[in-house]
Structure 1
Amino acid sequence: MAKVLCVLYPDPVTGYPPAYARDTIPAITAYPGGQTTPTPVGPLGFKPGELVGCVSGELGLRPYLEKLGHELIVTSDKDGADSEFDRHLADADVVISQPFWPAYLTAERIARAKKLKLALTAGIGSDHVDLQAAAAHGVTVAEETYSNSISVAEHVVMMVLSLVRNYLPAHQIAANGGWNIADCVSRSYDLEGMHFGTIAAGRIGLAVLKRLKPFDVHLHYTQRHRLADEVERELGLTFHETPESLVAACDVINLQTPLYPSTENMFDDRMFEHVKRGSYLINTARGKLCDRDAVVRALNSGKLAGYAGDVWFPQPAPADHPWRTMPFNGMTPHMSGSSLSAQARYAAGTLEILECFFEGRPIRPEYLIVDGGKLAGTGSQSYKLT
């Protein structure tokens, strides 16, 4: 019997929903590029469209795991030495966590988890796991690559338009009973004709570029590996060798790069010196890509006209985090990749990975981050151990 320790975000404050706004969600069978969506062998323990990413939802895993005699522990209590997560970690064989409510698997925690064999991310992004320590201890790290990439890309487009068109303050005026049109439009612009750039054009960054092309904007990108010529021609992309070159040219900047030691605090005071005055910055990648206080200073000085994102550090962010109250922000909790549609895919992918793990079958290479003591699959293309 194995112990599976699953850390998920808390249930809705109003209680687990008895009904949903929609009866169904679209059935997606493949991602752009042809990768198939998760294909577990057994039945799902949920109906697609249900809230399975919270504690009561349990990712729909309980029927499958208990049928095999495994123990499932689900909690949202993840921080501190006395947390339920730490109490169960010592004898857990599998840890499941989410980027939205990460259980940080530090080197110290991995060293204490003597039985741990699999660290599974329900979603995309395994930087809450110390990958070097996982490799050193023989722990496999896996995630459901692509499961919520388009979900995040849609969220980026929403945030771009919300900032540029000044939607959030205008909505608040209406909600408060006002009709202050001059106040609504005093910071409202058209996106058309602006220069939009993404720092990293992987699955999410490229999806954002494709979705913004119909808005008649000038598209820019930078990343380590240049896109194919035909992609650049199709989208009319301008390639930049460095992030500094891109931010100097763009009105709207989108951060999609993974978090490495080399990208931590990429947007600091020095980087903001290169940014055009009145630019907008969107960050749905990782909060630590930005120097927290440098962002606040850039907004207060007018260097940035707006900042939006759903990633913070730490997560959940403390109540006094300055990004909650800084001017001209469009921040949300980390939700972009956890729509009900995305949950159906990453929960199904979690089940698929667990089936492979318990049956001794290979996990899809596109799901693997660390395996056999080294970066593997998608991990070898997306992460660094130092």
Structure 2
Amino acid sequence: MAKIICVLYDDPIDGYPKSYPRDSIPKLTVYPDGQTTPTPEAIDFKPGDLLGSVSGELGLRKFLEDLGHTLVVTSDKDGPNSVFEKELHDAEIVISQPFWPAYLTAERMAKAPKLKLALTAGIGSDHVDLQAAIDRGITVAEITYCNSISVAEHVVMMILSLVRNYIPSYQWVIKGGWNIADCVSRSYDLEGMEVGTIAAGRIGLGVLRRLKPFDVKLHYTDRHRLPAEVEKELNVTYHPDVESLIRVCDVVTINCPLHPETEHMFDDKLIGKMKRGAYLINTARGKICDRDAIARALESGQLAGYAGDVWFPQPAPQDHPWRTMPHHGMTPHVSGTSLSAQARYAAGVREVLECWFEGRPIRNEYLIVEGGKLAGTGEHSYSKGNVTKGSEEAARFKAS
């Protein structure tokens, strides 16, 4: 029988919900590209419930314990004395989330000789040292597409929030003011702006489709060019590299995976080539941007605004400069863990585990590493290597 460690974020500060604002969520069976939503044999949860926190347990306990497996669920993930570290030595499967990542470094893998599967409840497996997983023959999988549209919606919300100066305007209301001039002195129309996405995969393409009705001029760059008919449908301009895109865009949204080629891509030099007063949106991964370069660009005015919900490490220490830099619209990593998305990624985790225990193949779309090499989505979207260096800093959040 297997031991499974599931690392999830903490429950709400006032306790696990006894009721919810809505009685149900829409039921989806297929994604925009034709891929079907997760199809487990059964689920032991109600879609729309809070599944991503420790009490929700991704709805897995009954399923796993009925099969005789041991499930350990914790939010204590960082540092040598964490529950995660103490339980890792005999674990066969580790389940983690991008929003509250259990960083699976090479050092941690070395302490877990029985580890065979690292499963992401969501999308984005950069919190796993993929090179170490390749070298050790560990399978890495994620629930591809489960929350891509959730993130695309969040991107559009953040673009509008920055360009229209929504957050400071809302704060004037909270403070009891009616300071219209203060609100509009940084407010513009999105209409007519040049908007570009770094990568046009499931999330990036979702963003482009949602922005087209705003009468903006769309741009993209990607290692895989979109079909000609899609470019024509969206009237989107392709750029062969990031630099040619960012030079012409008023708004840039980052939607590429984090791997060695994209780590710290947006540094002082690249940001300096953007239009002065451009807006940068990052719901991909925090480490794609140089932390201090972003803060400097906002302070100097090179960037008019920066918004995102991804940080490095996660959770970000209390003194992380993105908490206090000017003109930001940061949130904790929430874009892909709406209650709607949780129902899909919980069902996807169940589907993968059913396949694993029954000896059936995992969907190719869900695979990142298998058989000692990049596979499936991993082969299409990632590069070999490791981007977990520095993740030990996450322990400072708990310490503070």
What is the CA–CA distance in structure 2 between the aligned matches of 1:246 and 1:68, rounded to whole Å? 52
- Report the counterpart of residue 279 of structure 1 in structure 2: 278
Q: Give me the TM-score of the superposition, normalised by structure 1.
A: 0.99
What is the identity, as a one-letter code, of the residue corresponding to 1:125? G
What is the CA–CA distance in structure 1 between the aligned matches of 2:18 and 2:53, rounded to whole Å? 14
Structure 1 residues 242-281: Cα deviation after superposition (integer angstroms, max 9, x where no partner): 1111111000000111112121111111001211011000
What is the identity, as a one-letter code, of the residue corresponding to 1:80? G
What is the CA–CA distance in structure 2 between the aligned matches of 1:257 and 1:67, rounded to whole Å? 39
Residue identity over aligned pairs, in percent, reads 73
Structure 1 residues 101-128: Cα deviation after superposition (integer angstroms, max 9, x where no partner): 0000001111111111111000000010
What is the CA–CA distance in structure 1 between the aligned matches of 2:345 and 2:65, rounded to whole Å? 20
Structure 1 residues 49-107: Cα deviation after superposition (integer angstroms, max 9, x where no partner): 00000000000000100111110000000011111001110100110000000000001
Write out aligned runs for 1:169-188 (5 A): 169-188=168-187
What is the CA–CA distance in structure 2 between the aligned matches of 1:377 and 1:246, rounded to whole Å? 28
Q: Secondary structure at the match of 2:68?
A: coil
Q: CA deviation at 1:384?
A: 1.1
Q: CA deviation at 1:226?
A: 1.2
What is the CA–CA distance in structure 2 between the aligned matches of 1:330 and 1:305, rounded to whole Å? 11
- Report the counterpart of residue 9 of structure 2 in structure 1: 9
What is the CA–CA distance in structure 2 between the aligned matches of 1:85 and 1:72, rounded to whole Å? 12
What is the identity, as a one-letter code, of the residue corresponding to 2:81? D
Structure 1 residues 2-49: Cα deviation after superposition (integer angstroms, max 9, x where no partner): 10000000111110010001000000110011000000012x121000
- Report the counterpart of residue 388 of structure 2 in structure 1: none
- Report the counterpart of residue 340 of structure 1 in structure 2: 339
Q: CA deviation at 1:373?
A: 1.1
What is the CA–CA distance in structure 1 between the aligned matches of 2:334 and 2:41, rounded to whole Å? 28
Out of 369-378 and 143-152, give the one that drifted further.
369-378
Q: CA deviation at 1:175?
A: 1.3
Q: Secondary structure at the match of 1:249?
A: coil
What is the CA–CA distance in structure 2 between the aligned matches of 1:149 and 1:275, rounded to whole Å? 27
Would you say the 8 A contact 2:137–2:370 is kept in 1? yes
What is the CA–CA distance in structure 2 between the aligned matches of 1:172 and 1:245, rounded to whole Å? 36
Write out aligned runs for 1:28-67 (5 A): 28-42=28-42, 44-67=43-66
Q: CA deviation at 1:136?
A: 1.5
- Report the counterpart of residue 372 of structure 2 in structure 1: 373
Q: Secondary structure at the match of 1:330?
A: strand
Q: Secondary structure at the match of 2:330?
A: coil
What is the identity, as a one-letter code, of the residue corresponding to 1:90? H
What is the CA–CA distance in structure 1 between the aligned matches of 2:27 and 2:347, rounded to whole Å? 13
- Report the counterpart of residue 20 of structure 1 in structure 2: 20
Unaligned runs of 5+ in 1: none
What is the CA–CA distance in structure 2 between the aligned matches of 1:94 and 1:130, rounded to whole Å? 15
Q: Secondary structure at the match of 2:269?
A: helix
- Report the counterpart of residue 397 of structure 2 in structure 1: none
Q: Does 1:324 align with 2:293?
A: no
* Stretches (4+) displaced over 2 A: none
- Report the counterpart of residue 131 of structure 1 in structure 2: 130
Structure 1 residues 149-190: Cα deviation after superposition (integer angstroms, max 9, x where no partner): 000000000000000000000001011111111111111100
Q: Secondary structure at the match of 1:169?
A: helix
What is the CA–CA distance in structure 2 between the aligned matches of 1:149 and 1:51, rounded to whole Å? 19
Would you say the 8 A contact 2:141–2:369 is kept in 1? yes
Equivalenced residues, count: 385
What is the CA–CA distance in structure 2 between the aligned matches of 1:366 and 1:261, rounded to whole Å? 22
- Report the counterpart of residue 295 of structure 1 in structure 2: 294
Would you say the 8 A contact 2:368–2:376 is kept in 1? yes
- Report the counterpart of residue 197 of structure 2 in structure 1: 198
What is the CA–CA distance in structure 2 between the aligned matches of 1:349 and 1:330, rounded to whole Å? 31
What is the CA–CA distance in structure 1 between the aligned matches of 2:142 and 2:157, rounded to whole Å? 25
- Report the counterpart of residue 253 of structure 2 in structure 1: 254
What is the CA–CA distance in structure 1 between the aligned matches of 2:198 and 2:369, rounded to whole Å? 25
What is the identity, as a one-letter code, of the residue corresponding to 1:132? Q
- Report the counterpart of residue 93 of structure 1 in structure 2: 92
What is the CA–CA distance in structure 1 between the aligned matches of 2:70 and 2:90, rounded to whole Å? 11
- Report the counterpart of residue 72 of structure 1 in structure 2: 71
Would you say the 8 A contact 2:261–2:383 is kept in 1? no
Q: Secondary structure at the match of 1:90?
A: helix
What is the CA–CA distance in structure 1 between the aligned matches of 2:224 and 2:27, rounded to whole Å? 32
What is the identity, as a one-letter code, of the residue corresponding to 1:14? D
Q: Secondary structure at the match of 1:52?
A: coil
Q: Secondary structure at the match of 1:158?
A: helix
